A and B are shown apart, each in its own frame.
Chain A
Amino acid sequence: MSLLGGGPLDRGASIGFPASGPPAARSRFEPAAVKSTSIALVSSVVFFGLLAIAVVNAPGWSEVKQQFFDAHWFAYSLPKIVNAFGVNVRLFCLAEVLILALALLLAVLRSLPGPVFFPLRLIATVYADTFRAIPGLLIVTLLGFGVPGLGIAGIPTDPFIYAVVALTLVYSAYVSEVYRAGIESIHPSQEAAARSLGLTRIQALRYVILPQAVRRVIPPLLNDFIGLQKDTILVSYIGVVEAFRESSIIQAAKFNSTPFVALALVFLVITIPLARFTDWLVGRDRRRFLANAR
């Protein structure tokens, strides 16, 4: 079920730099660069050519081609899917704003010192543990079917609302850990300097610690939002008619799976620029870090 899995739900928050990333800028016209570019090009053509030949010559290719890569059904389903994708975008935008706020609150609660704040720290810790432990699809299901089932008067029945709430709950747990890593990465001497001038703890956090911490965690935050974009399809399970649900409806009606491929293409077009941008930011930060560590 690769469509429903993946995302950041199976990895921890980290503000470290991944091993991969864009290499240092180098002139394209150096002979060595030309040579390595040519080698990369040839090996790519050979590799993907062989892969294509293997797929096309597979015994079931003609059925798969007709079932997944049908030009007629592609043209038929793409506009409907793009239209339904608007629901995913709305879901994503709404949840993202709520996540950024809730996660920041959780991270701040968790970083409060002293025994007085133990209950708040406990709540934030239990929250982060709980919502990182339970699979996102389960949270969506339990909320989307469970809460309206209570039949409390005035409680909303629109599954879209439960979709927003479920994604916010799950992703806030991750994003709060990202924030917290950022807060803890700011050297205590910064807080000491702020407090020594007579700023309160809250002022030190607001004006000195958080602005630096948030700047530092923007790349990992973007990574989580790439995951959130993809996980918006989880809410199809509770009856929100978004792009994945729309694809399933077409597939069930027309007995053809091409709509899923069309949806995959939509995600590629939307997500890859964000992923490239995130990698570029990470690479830029690393270059700055190296430049500063003279």
Chain B
Amino acid sequence: MSSTAAATHPALEISGLWKSFGELRVLRGIDLTVAEHEVICLIGSSGSGKSTLLRCVNLLEPVEGGRITVEGEEITASGVDVNRIRRRIGIVFQSFNLFPHMSVLRNVTLAPQKAAGKPKAQAEAEATELLERFGLVDKRNEYPDRLSGGQQQRVAIVRALAMQPDLLLLDEITSALDPELVAEVLNVIRELARGGMTMVIATHEMGFARDIASRVCFLDGGVILEQGAPADIFSHPREARTQQFLERIIEAGRL
């Protein structure tokens, strides 16, 4: 189930993380340790802080208190090169955020070429291989507005993978999709999990979380109220808030 503590550092270690937007305290002391190859699913109602947590880990939001460590290196320390850190941490957004003025191939090769300094030919060969693996190679010269939502999101995943990240953050990546397109995207994530990718996934797809997660964390009021194996969280939640949340999900027919 959860990996044993090895001599190496955990893939991700968050301790006492605080974050506010003005008066609104979104994160109020998050502690989370993720071992290599673990798949963590963050569940919780909208506004519980799932997205903010992921954006903090990618340093897209400055944190106010606490520490984030990636493989032993503190990324919240002052003076770290945020660009170098971000190259190691991929993030996929709810709204895809592909670059609309670039072809699929260019979307995928931009960062490997410009941020990682790879030669064009190498970046394109690697991108083509990834697109092939996820069934998108025939779309390599299309522009994003010619693709379905599911295809766009798969391209966004490939774009993040092209930087060969140690850690992948997925922020409600199926929430903007038509229901019949959700499966193709989730299957990509399943394949990545089988391949051993370390992932932190904010999601509303409880069935998917139960299938794929090594650990499920329930966020409520800016803290991780409860965490454990999916079977425990979904079948025997300890906290009253978790029970309430899951009851509402079941009522809505989402579990």
> CA of A212 to CA of B145 in the docked complex: distance in angstroms?
14
B183 contacts partner chain A, Cβ-Cβ < 8 Å? no
User: Chain A: interface residue count, which band?
Assistant: 10 to 19
Chain A residues near B99 (CB-CB < 8 A): 190, 193-194, 207-208, 212
Within B148-199, the residues touching A (CB, 8 Å) are 159-160, 163
8 Å CB contact of A199 from B83, B90, B95, B145: B83
Cβ contact within 8 Å between B115 and A199: yes
- Kindly list chain B residues whose C-beta atoms are within 8 Å of the C-beta of A211: 101
Do the beta carbons of A198 and B111 come within 8 Å of each other?
Answer: yes
> In the complex, A203 Cα to B115 Cα: how many Å?
8
* CB under 8 Å from chain A, chain B span 90-132: 90-91, 93, 95, 97-101, 110-111, 114-116
B29 to chain A, nearest CB (A): 25
Q: Within the assembled complex, what's the spacing in Å between the Cα atoms of A211 and B99?
A: 10
Closest residue of A by beta carbon distance from B85? A198
Which among A196, A208, A215 has the greatest number of chain B C-beta atoms within 10 A? A196
Chain A residues with CB below 8 A from B231, complex form: none
Minimum CB distance partner of A200 in chain B: B83
Is B87 at the interface (CB under 8 A from chain A)? yes
Whether B116 lies near A196 (C-beta < 8 A) is no
The interface size bin for chain B is 20 to 34
Residues of the A chain whose Cβ atoms lie less than 8 Å from the Cβ of B100: 212
Cα distance, A211 to B97, chains bound together (Å): 15
Contact with B along A183-218 (1 / 0, CB 8 A): 000000110111111111001000110011001000
B84 at the interface (CB under 8 A from A): yes
Asked if B163 and A189 sit within 8 Å, CB to CB, the answer is no
- Neighbouring A residues of B159 by C-beta, 8 Å: 197
In the assembled complex, which residues on chain A have CB atoms less than 8 Å from the CB atom of B91? 196
Q: Are A192 and B93 neighbours in the complex by a CB distance under 8 Å? A: yes
B48 within 8 A of A: no
Q: A207 vs B101: C-alpha distance in the bound complex, in angstroms?
A: 10
Q: Does A197 contact B115, Cβ atoms closer than 8 Å? A: yes
Q: Is the CB of B93 within 8 A of A189?
A: yes
Please give the distance in Å from B136's CB to the nearest CB on chain A: 18
**CA A36 – CA B241 in complex, angstroms?**
68
Q: Are the CB atoms of B163 and A212 closer together than 8 Å?
A: no
**In the bound complex, what is the Cα–Cα distance between A193 and B155 (angstroms)?**
13
Tell me whether A197 and B93 are in contact (CB under 8 A).
no
Cα(A198)–Cα(B88), bound, Å: 8
A57 at the interface (CB under 8 A from B): no
Q: Is the CB–CB distance between A195 and B111 below 8 Å?
A: no
Cα distance A287–B145 in the bound complex, in angstroms: 15
Q: What distance in Å separates the Cβ of B201 from its nearest Cβ neighbour in chain A?
A: 16
Distance in angstroms between the alpha carbons of A194 and B116 in the assembled complex: 13
Query: Which of B90, B95, B114 has the most A CB atoms < 10 Å from its CB?
Result: B114
CB pair A192 B60 closer than 8 Å: yes
- Encoded as 1 (CB less than 8 Å from any B CB) or 0, chain A from 174 to 190 comes to 00000000000000011
B76 at the interface (CB under 8 A from A): no
Does A2 belong to the interface (CB within 8 Å)? Answer: no
Shortest CB-to-CB span from B182 to chain A, Å, is 21
Residues of chain B touching chain A, judged by Cβ–Cβ distance below 8 Å, are 58, 60, 83-84, 86-87, 90-91, 93, 95, 97-101, 110-111, 114-116, 145, 159-160, 163
Instruction: Give residues in A with beta carbon < 8 Å to B.
Output: 189-190, 192-200, 203, 207-208, 211-212, 215, 292
- Name 15 interchain pairs, CB-CB below 8 A, sorted by A: A190-B97, A192-B60, A192-B97, A194-B110, A196-B91, A197-B159, A198-B83, A198-B116, A199-B111, A199-B115, A200-B115, A208-B99, A211-B101, A215-B101, A292-B145
